[in-house]
């Protein structure tokens, strides 16, 4: 899957990439801001929510999820997860060791989300043209992990939101 997504060089895809380059660059920004070593599904979700004109952002905003609310839910999820294992949140004010800037690859949850998005898009359209709503639905269909826990904390009906994301692209393609 990593060969399918390289944000700095565009997307040398075997499919049509209907997601704006600015959004894919935002994946990297969100991961770096989080201090992550790889782009994960939560970074993709935050990037989709941050895109002011994207279809996925419209779907998220319809249920009251904007970048700030998602970031807050993800922070609470992290706090609860660490508390569950008896740890306190790390002090982000302590400077971390500097590293060389290296390109980030897709993490496991991001790869799984993209795979679900590709399969869903291909199943419906008989060809793959990945849109932001496809990726959103792929992220939302995860049964386990950070994103489902964070959305549950935010009180979001994940199944209904995923259904809305898949349905959004159907309505758009009929226009």
Q: Which residues contact 40 (CB under 8 A, 6 or more apart)?
A: 31, 107, 108, 109, 110, 146
pLDDT > 90 in the chain, percent: 54
Give the pair of three-digit tokens for residue 51. Answer: 């895109």
Q: Which residues contact 45 (CB under 8 A, 6 or more apart)?
A: 70, 136, 139, 147
Q: pTM for the whole thing?
A: 0.80
How do residues 47-69 score in pLDDT, each as one tens digit?
999 987 788 999 999 999 999 99
Distance (Å, whole) CA 156 – CA 123: 26
CB 107 within 8 A of CB 34: no
CB 40 within 8 A of CB 109: yes
Across 81-95, 125-139, 148-162, the highest mean pLDDT is recorded for 148-162
Q: What is the pLDDT of residue 173?
A: 42
Query: pLDDT: is 95 or 81 the higher one?
Result: 81
Structural domains of the chain in order of their starting residue, each with its CATH number:
2-88+102-174 (1.10.1780.10)
């Amino acid at each position: 899957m990593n060969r399918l997504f390289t944000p700095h060089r565009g997307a040398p895809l075997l499919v049509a990439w209907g997601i704006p380059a600015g959004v894919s660059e935002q994946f990297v920004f969100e991961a770096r801001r989080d201090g992550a070593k790889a782009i994960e599904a939560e970074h993709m979700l935050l990037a989709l929510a941050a895109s002011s004109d994207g279809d996925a952002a419209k779907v998220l905003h319809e249920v009251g999820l904007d970048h700030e609310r998602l970031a807050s839910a993800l922070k609470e999820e992290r706090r609860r997860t660490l508390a569950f294992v008896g740890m306190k949140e790390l002090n982000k004010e302590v400077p971390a060791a500097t590293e060389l800037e290296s390109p980030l690859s897709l993490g496991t949850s991001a790869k799984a989300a993209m795979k679900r998005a590709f399969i869903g898009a291909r199943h419906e359209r008989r060809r793959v043209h990945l849109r932001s709503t496809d990726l959103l639905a792929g992220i939302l269909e995860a049964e386990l992990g950070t994103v489902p826990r964070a959305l549950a904390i935010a009180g979001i009906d994940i199944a209904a939101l995923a259904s809305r994301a898949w349905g959004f692209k159907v309505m758009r393609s009929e226009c």
